[in-house]
A and B are shown apart, each in its own frame.
Chain A
Amino acid sequence: GAGVSQSPRYKVTKRGQDVALRCDPISGHVSLYWYRQALGQGPEFLTYFNYEAQQDKSGLPNDRFSAERPEGSISTLTIQRTEQRDSAMYRCASSWDRGAGNTIYFGEGSWLTVV
């Protein structure tokens, strides 16, 4: 597609429910990233993929968070047993390849509110 596409744009869920956030990267982009952004803060790295391989998941806050990219294109970030502190904007990004110098393009994000 023309840009990084994320869905849903807005999600309100009850505490304890599972949520799945979807990211469709720019066509042909090898690397895909997930970031989380709290209000008034900059984005914080969660995890990234090169093709279908999850290369770094050091930013995932705990084992309730997981991500997959089974065919090296679309990715899903799943949060199990959501808590209020999970409320944030979740941003997906993609680039041609990993590493410095490869411009990283962000989607519009998915706003998650846990009530």
Chain B
Amino acid sequence: GEDVEQSLFLSVREGDSSVINCTYTDSSSTYLYWYKQEPGAGLQLLTYIFSNMDMKQDQRLTVLLNKKDKHLSLRIADTQTGDSAIYFCAEIGGSGNTGKLIFGQGTTLQVKP
């Protein structure tokens, strides 16, 4: 079945780059997403990438996709304390025609001042 795996915890110093990694199993995934969850808040969509792309950049965020290895990463440049949160990787499950997302278990990013 479909599965998404992430490392559970990452700690970086303010100003450094953060790289959060994710692996997925469904080779037919057409879109892959990164969501951010802050305490007491909803899931915020950060960015997404279409499977025919291998990189997408959006300000401080860079998404890299290695479709052959089914590996997705999110790089945050110049990480700030406000970036401390849980980051979820997600893929579209099934045929891609349902909008049903399969989420990883989340990576907690801790940013030390």
Q: Which A residues are within 8 Å of any B CB, using their own CB?
A: 3-4, 31, 33, 35, 40-45, 48, 55-56, 59, 91, 93, 95, 97-109
If A42-B105, A100-B30, A108-B42 are given as contacts, then 13 extra A-B residue pairs at C-beta distance below 8 Å, sorted by A number, are A3-B42, A33-B101, A43-B103, A45-B101, A48-B99, A95-B99, A99-B96, A101-B50, A104-B45, A106-B42, A107-B42, A108-B40, A108-B41
Q: Which residues of chain B have C-beta atoms less than 8 A from A43's C-beta?
A: 43, 88, 101, 103
**Closest Cβ of chain B: how far from A109's Cβ, in Å?**
6
Q: Which residues of chain A have C-beta atoms less than 8 A from B93's C-beta?
A: 45
Give A40 to B105 CA distance when docked, in angstroms.
Answer: 7
Among B30, B101, B103, find the residue whose CB has the most chain A CB atoms closer than 10 A: B101
A-B contact count (CB 8 A): 74
Q: Which residues of chain A have C-beta atoms less than 8 A from B31's C-beta?
A: 100-101
Q: Which residues of chain A have C-beta atoms less than 8 A from B4's C-beta?
A: 42
Q: Which B residues are within 8 Å of any A CB, using their own CB?
A: 4, 30-31, 33, 35, 40-45, 48, 50, 88, 90, 92-93, 96-106
The chain B residue with its CB closest to the CB of A99 is B97
The chain B residue with its CB closest to the CB of A6 is B42
**Closest Cβ of chain A: how far from B28's Cβ, in Å?**
10
19 pairs, A vs B, C-beta closer than 8 Å: A3-B42, A35-B101, A42-B105, A42-B106, A43-B101, A45-B100, A45-B101, A48-B99, A55-B98, A59-B100, A99-B96, A100-B97, A101-B31, A104-B45, A104-B99, A106-B43, A106-B45, A108-B41, A108-B42
